Structure formats: structure tokens, C-alpha cells
Chains A and B, each alone.
Chain A
Amino acid sequence: MGTHATTQAANAHLTTPTRLTGAEIVWATLYGEGVTDVFGYPGGAILPVYDALRKFPIHHTLVRHEQGAAHMADGYARASGKVGVAMATSGPGATNLVTGIATAMLDSIPIVCITGNVSSKVLGTDAFQEVDITGITLPVTKHNFLVSRPEDIAPAIRHAFQIARSARPGPVLVDITKDAQQGTAIFDFAAAAPPPHRPHPMRRVEVSALDQAAELIRNAQRPVILAGHGVIESGAGEQLLSLAERAQIPVALTLLGLGGFPASHSLNIGMMGMHGESWVNHAIQDADLLIACGMRFDDRVTGATATYALKAKKIHIEVDPSEINKNIKVDVALVGDLAQVLDQLLPRVATRNGAAWLKTIEASKGAVAVHDIKNLPDSGHLYAAHVMHDLWHITGGDAIIVTDVGQHQMWEAQYFHHERPRTLITSGGLGTMGFGLPAAIGAKTACPDKEVWVIAGDGGFQMTAAELATIVQEGLKVNIAIVNNGYLGMVRQWQEFFYERNYEATPLVSPDFVKLADAHGLPGRTVRTRTELDQAVAVARAAKGAFLLNIHVEKEDAVYPMIPAGNALHEMIRRPGKKPLDKPAGNK
């Protein structure tokens, strides 16, 4: 962080228009936008910007790979609700960001990526480390800018922040040529403000639609609220709670919605979709009204759309007009910010008695809960479900959990119960392996006082394991739990179910992760039993710095229940050892 002098100077730039270099304008504008942390990697075409960093009170985290920078900015944004910032040089630096940008795009996460590019005079000549990054990222950003004049830098960056955080958030990239960084211009922060955000003209909430929605709620016998990521992005948790409690409507959550409605609340029935519990998916299939709040009927939550919730009328509250009727046809669309729409809807909703329907759902759980793996006695085998359950139990559910992608991610969603928004950080839409470790670094940077755990599989962890060195360099206290089963587990599970157990390319040799940690100067422990787990988690939490747990779990365990892709929501593969309520589905 900068000194008092740099802070004073940076503040002065914001109020007094001054001639600065383009590179200085980059930092001055970021500072003006409230940025305190940037994740990046220097290189030739962005060097002028790095040279100017010393004059500004902004902390830069050096990553080990630019993909990590984008994921860190993403994790930072998810944990804090602020815009995350990543920086990279031209060419390979910029292309390495792309997976991270796409991850943020698919999950609507506000990040701004700043890349350097070759001088404007040689743009388009295949100069050294030149790549058309605005062209490449066009489909995976909300918008991007190519800036070739110093006077355009501040307006572009300010506009980028506005776009990233407005309406449905998302990533924005600003590509700045080297000559624009080296040239000078008058920096006038106020004058560089973007034009007022132009609301999408199709984003509107008709009074008649509100009345219609209220009418549907009043008349529903078996309503279910489907709460998604929009609850968290819009900050609509309170309104959602009011709606659910007033009308006594059970709430099912999407993966990215977890934390948007307290897990311990009696109306929370759990996660829906491909790995949702049977009673949740059955409740949706049997419902006569679905109230979708900030979710987009992704194929992972609907199963086959042709058989999805056929008995239900559907109300869709969504900020993005292009989501209406995209996957599922709805009866009433309320297109707007979720919190605002619910504020308008709530006065129209009266208290109602939902006891009968809630009782039906409760009864449909039957003995399912008893068969949960977490309730099985300790047979000496360690199951990933135990790991998630115990982590939840020991941390009091209060930590920020950052997952990677795969089986462990689903087990986390099933067995770690999130009470508050922004306590689960996970790549849902793009399902990016390697997301966990860097995103956890971003989350810890945003929330240094929170306990942060990254849970990753042995496969995904190795994709971005180089960021261990970033943790060390930054001195961050991030606890790492590697759920190690020696396979690319989720792919192996699909091979088991749908490819006749042909485990092609899924058995995985890994390094000794504890030794790997040791090589980085980080302590770690290997865990093989449930007793060891409890102790190891305690030791990890008590450790001053980062701590790595290499947790060996049952190798060929699968995530249940599971809806095979393309099956109806109620056609689940159930947990083994349990009388199946539904026939296991065929290959899809």
C-alpha cells in the first residue's frame, strides 16, 4: 500500500485536473473508482503502467499466471460485491485472461481487466506479442474498449466500471496501446464520468403483471420459490425472506444462489437441479406455481425442459430481458432489479397458510435424510461428504468457502450449509477447473478478516497450483483442503454411469501435495481418517499462515442423487443401498 504522500497526491489528482501520463491516468482513474487491489502480471506492453504504480496507493498482487489474475479479481468481486480488477500485458498475457473472463461472464461477476497492447502505429501488423484481444474477448465480455489515445483512458475505464457493475453485472476489458500509456493528457476525473447508465428499454415491471403475480401467489396450493444468484447480486435477501415467510412458500436454491437464503431456515428446502436432493426436485415437478427470483433456468437446474414443472404457472423475476422465455416459457415476467421488484410485489402479497404443502414436502423426504452419508457411522473410510460436513461443523459455517469444480463442489453444496450471501464462491456457469485457489486468494484479499477455505479436487488444484507461491508472497492466510481421490472424479462418475466404467484418462497421478506445500514454505498435513480430519482442521485454522490439507477420500465415490443430462428433473439416480423411489435412468 502506498504512503501518506501517494494517497494525498492521488486524492489531489481527483479534484484538480492535472496533466499526467496515460500510465498515471490508469492508476488515478482506478483509485478514483475506489480500487485498492489489482491482480496482475507485467510485460512489455504494460510496463509504463507498472512503472507508474509506485505513485499510487494501490496494492498489486503478482500472480503466477494471468488466468489466476482474472480468477482473483473474480473471487475478490464475489466476496466483497465490489468490482475486481485484473491486469496483464499484450499477447499471451491477454489471452491467458480469457478463461477467467469467460468464468466471470457466465456467472455475471463484475470485473474490469486492463491489458496493454502494442503501439497504435503498429496495431494490426502482427507486432511482437500483439493479439486482437478486443476481438477475442468480444463474446465473453459485457463490453470492451480499445484505447489508443491518453485522453481516452479515463473515460474508458470509468465507463468500464459503470458497465461492469450495472444491471446484470459482468466483465469488461480495456485494452490500452503502449503509446497511449506513454503520452500525456489532462486528467479530469469528474469530466471523465460516463453518460448516465441507459436502462434496457425492455426492463420494466408492469403494474398489471405485479397484480397478476400476486393473484397467482394467492391462489397457489403448491408454490415454490426458485432463488438464484440474482438474490445475492441484487442484495435481495431480506425481501426474499419476507416473501417466503409472509406467504409461507418453500425456497429452493440454485448452486450460485446458496447463501442467498439461510440454510437453517425452515422454509429452505435445499439446492435444486442435477445434484439437488430428491424432495427438492420432486417439489418443483409437483408445484403449481414457481416464482423464479434472479435465476435463469439453466439446463443444470431444469433437466429436460420438455418435462420441466409442467403443472406449474411460472413467475420470472429477472434483471436481464433476454433471459425471459429463453429456456422455459413463463406466464408472468417481472423484468427488473430483484430487490426493487420484490419491494413492489410484497405489499400485494398477503399472509397465507402453506402448512399442507410444506408437510407434503417434509413427508417426501421420508427416510432419505437418514441415509445421508454424513450420518453413516465411521467405518474407517473417509468420504468427501464427511469432509464437507465436518468442515461446516468445525467452522460454524461462518467461513468463506471457495470451491473448484467437480464432485467436491457438489458435495460442498450438499453438505456445507450456507447461512449468508457471499460465503460460497464457486464457478457455476462455466464450471472452470482451477478456479478455486486463485479465487480464494482474491476472496482473502477482499476480506482479510474472514476465514477463507479453498476446497479443491486433486485434478483442479493442479491446474492453478502455481498460485501457492502467490499465497506465500502475499502472506495470505488461506486454508487449503484438497479432496484427493486419485481421479478426475466427476468425469469418472460420468464414465461409471454412462460409459460402462471405461475409466479413460481419469486416473490421476498427483505430487505429494504436502511436500509441494513444503517446497513453498507452507505447512501441511495428510489426512486419511475422520479423526485425523478433525484434528487437522483445527491445526490448519490455528496456524498463523496458509495451511494445506491433503485429504485422501474414498476413491470411487459418486455424487448422489444425479439427474443424467437430458433426463427429466424427477428421473434421478438415487443413492445406492436405498430402495429406489425412481427407476435409475438410462444412458444419456
Chain B
Amino acid sequence: MLHTFIAYVDDKPGVLTRVASLFRRLNINITSLTVGRSERDGLSRMTIVCEASAEAGHRIRASLFKLENVVDVDDIAQAPNVTRELALIKVAVTKELRSQIFELVEVFRARIVDLTAESLMIEMTGVESKIEGLIEILRASDCCILELCRSGKMTMRRSHHVSSVVRAMSVPANESEEPRPVDEDAPALPQ
């Protein structure tokens, strides 16, 4: 099954190797890995997606925690979450075909972020399947994909860390626990 782990790690040299090495040792392929700064000073946040047996989740999480530079680990498993991926797609496109791409981009609620005489760049954020969908249609079209860059998944639990939210917003607990419905497959908000 597909596992998704969130790890807060020290923002120091070599930490990525330690995390990656753990998966290598278990002979588990990392499907995607995103790293960036987090809300906590000096800590990076990783979203690690990998394919492994259902039982492996416990051991991976326990082993990640054993790494000295890993501060926090969350196994998302099947918990409600928001997952997004960012894709940049450079497409070779002639003047005649441009409008066709513009339409496509509109339908997928993506954006054109660069435009030249012979190519354009599409930026798209969304769930994996939506990005796959756009890529598939582009491949089927008359234009040629020159470059494709995908960020890998970023995942955040929905309404999870209730106590820290309460602290941050200084509101009574019963108010903050109210679920805020957000449809995962809803179109990305205009940026």
C-alpha cells in the first residue's frame, strides 16, 4: 500500500541522506519526497510517499523516530488530509495551437506562467490524478511536452493538531473543533 509520512527534521547537512538511507536499507523505493521549511524554526518538513506493506508503516515510523535529526513523524495512513502536487510543464506550441492550450489550461484551472513564440509554460497545482489528467491530454494533443517538473506530494492532515490550533488562535476548544469542510477535488483557489 501507499504510505505517506510527514517528518519534521533538523535543517542541517546530511539529514536528507539519513532519512533516505533508512528507506534504502529497508529496500523500499521512495515514490516522492518533498522538503522545505516549516512553521518551526530550524526544522524542515518532509512529505515522504512510499510503497510498502501495510505492516511496514509502524516500523518505518518507529525507525524514523530513532534518527537523531528527526524531531516528529506522522504516519498519515488513511487519515483525512489535503494532498497537493505542483507541476511545471513546458510545451512546444505554435501560434495556431495556442488557443487550444489556453482552453485546456482554463478547464484544468491551471495557469500560463511563461509564454514565448514557440513555447509556453503551464503551472498547475492539484491532486495527483488531476495533474496526470492534464499531462495525458497534452500528450494526446498536437503539441509536444518539452519539460515536465513535478514537486511530488505535499500532505497535511485536516483539522488534526487541535490543541496547537487552539493555542495559536486562543479560542475555546469546542469552537475550533468544528470541522471546516474543504473538498479535496475542488478546484484550486485562484492565486
Contact surface of A with B, Cβ cutoff 8 Å: 134-135, 138-139, 142-143, 146, 163, 198, 200-202, 320-322, 324-326
Whether the pair B17, A135 counts as a contact (CB closer than 8 A) is: yes
- B108 at the A interface (CB under 8 A): no
| Contact residue among A138, A163, A202, A324 (Cβ-Cβ distance under 8 Å from B65) | A202
- B163 at the A interface (CB under 8 A): no
Best-surrounded residue of B58, B61, B68 (most CB of chain A within 10 A): B68
Q: Residues of B contacting A322 with CB < 8 Å?
A: 59, 62-63, 66
Closest A residue to B61 using CB positions: A202
- B14 at the A interface (CB under 8 A): yes
| Contact residue among A135, A200, A325 (Cβ-Cβ distance under 8 Å from B55) | A325
Using known A-B contacts A163-B68, A200-B65, determine if residue A325 contacts B59 with beta carbons closer than 8 Å. yes
Closest A residue to B73 using CB positions: A201
Q: B1-56: which residues lie under 8 A (CB-CB) from chain A?
A: 13-14, 17-18, 21, 25, 55
Whether the pair B59, A326 counts as a contact (CB closer than 8 A) is: yes
Whether the pair A139, B59 counts as a contact (CB closer than 8 A) is: no
Using known A-B contacts A202-B65, A322-B66, determine if residue A138 contacts B18 with beta carbons closer than 8 Å. yes
Closest A residue to B69 using CB positions: A143
| Contact residue among A139, A142, A146, A321 (Cβ-Cβ distance under 8 Å from B62) | A321
| Contact residue among A134, A139, A198, A324 (Cβ-Cβ distance under 8 Å from B14) | A134
Closest B residue to A200 using CB positions: B65
Using known A-B contacts A163-B68, A200-B66, A322-B66, determine if residue A138 contacts B59 with beta carbons closer than 8 Å. no
State the majority secondary structure of interface residues on B.
helix
Best-surrounded residue of A146, A163, A321, A325 (most CB of chain B within 10 A): A321
Q: Residues of A contacting B17 with CB < 8 Å?
A: 135, 138
Q: Residues of B contacting A146 with CB < 8 Å?
A: 13-14
Bound together, the chains give a CA A142 to CA B66 distance in angstroms of: 8
Closest B residue to A199 using CB positions: B65
Whether the pair A321, B68 counts as a contact (CB closer than 8 A) is: no
Bound together, the chains give a CA A202 to CA B62 distance in angstroms of: 7
Best-surrounded residue of B55, B58, B66, B67 (most CB of chain A within 10 A): B66
Bound together, the chains give a CA A163 to CA B18 distance in angstroms of: 16
State the 5 A-B residue pairs at the shortest beta-carbon distance, nearest first: A322-B62, A321-B62, A143-B68, A322-B63, A200-B65
Q: List 17 A-B contacts (CB under 8 A).
A: A135-B17, A138-B18, A138-B21, A142-B66, A143-B67, A143-B68, A146-B13, A200-B62, A200-B66, A201-B65, A202-B61, A202-B62, A321-B62, A322-B59, A324-B58, A324-B62, A325-B59
Bound together, the chains give a CA A321 to CA B73 distance in angstroms of: 14
Q: Residues of A contacting B66 with CB < 8 Å?
A: 142, 200, 320, 322
Q: Residues of B contacting A324 with CB < 8 Å?
A: 58, 62
Min CB distance A529 to B, Å, is 50
Q: Residues of A contacting B65 with CB < 8 Å?
A: 200-202, 321
Closest A residue to B55 using CB positions: A325
Min CB distance A417 to B, Å, is 35
Bound together, the chains give a CA A321 to CA B71 distance in angstroms of: 16
Beyond contacts A138-B17, A200-B62, A322-B59: 8 other A-B pairs, Cβ-Cβ < 8 A, are: A135-B17, A142-B68, A143-B67, A146-B14, A202-B62, A320-B62, A321-B62, A325-B59
Closest A residue to B63 using CB positions: A322
Contact digits for B90-126, partner A, Cβ 8 Å, 1 yes 0 no: 0000000000000000000000000000000000000
Closest A residue to B72 using CB positions: A201
Q: Residues of B contacting A139 with CB < 8 Å?
A: 21, 25
Min CB distance A157 to B, Å, is 14
Bound together, the chains give a CA A41 to CA B160 distance in angstroms of: 54
Min CB distance A491 to B, Å, is 27
Q: Residues of B contacting A138 with CB < 8 Å?
A: 17-18, 21
Closest A residue to B59 using CB positions: A322
Bound together, the chains give a CA A320 to CA B68 distance in angstroms of: 14
Q: Residues of A contacting B61 with CB < 8 Å?
A: 202
Min CB distance B18 to A, Å, is 6
Bound together, the chains give a CA A324 to CA B63 distance in angstroms of: 11
Closest B residue to A329 using CB positions: B55
Min CB distance B59 to A, Å, is 5
Q: Residues of B contacting A200 with CB < 8 Å?
A: 62, 65-66
Q: Residues of B contacting A321 with CB < 8 Å?
A: 62, 65
Bound together, the chains give a CA A142 to CA B22 distance in angstroms of: 12
Bound together, the chains give a CA A326 to CA B59 distance in angstroms of: 7
Closest B residue to A135 using CB positions: B17
Closest B residue to A172 using CB positions: B68
Q: Residues of A contacting B67 with CB < 8 Å?
A: 143
Closest B residue to A201 using CB positions: B65
Min CB distance A170 to B, Å, is 10
Min CB distance A326 to B, Å, is 6
Bound together, the chains give a CA A494 to CA B132 distance in angstroms of: 54
Min CB distance B133 to A, Å, is 39
Bound together, the chains give a CA A163 to CA B25 distance in angstroms of: 21
Q: Residues of A contacting B55 with CB < 8 Å?
A: 325
Bound together, the chains give a CA A326 to CA B67 distance in angstroms of: 18
Bound together, the chains give a CA A200 to CA B65 distance in angstroms of: 6
Bound together, the chains give a CA A138 to CA B25 distance in angstroms of: 11
Bound together, the chains give a CA A322 to CA B14 distance in angstroms of: 22
Bound together, the chains give a CA A198 to CA B68 distance in angstroms of: 9
Q: Residues of A contacting B21 with CB < 8 Å?
A: 138-139
Using known A-B contacts A138-B17, A138-B18, A139-B21, determine if residue A325 contacts B58 with beta carbons closer than 8 Å. yes
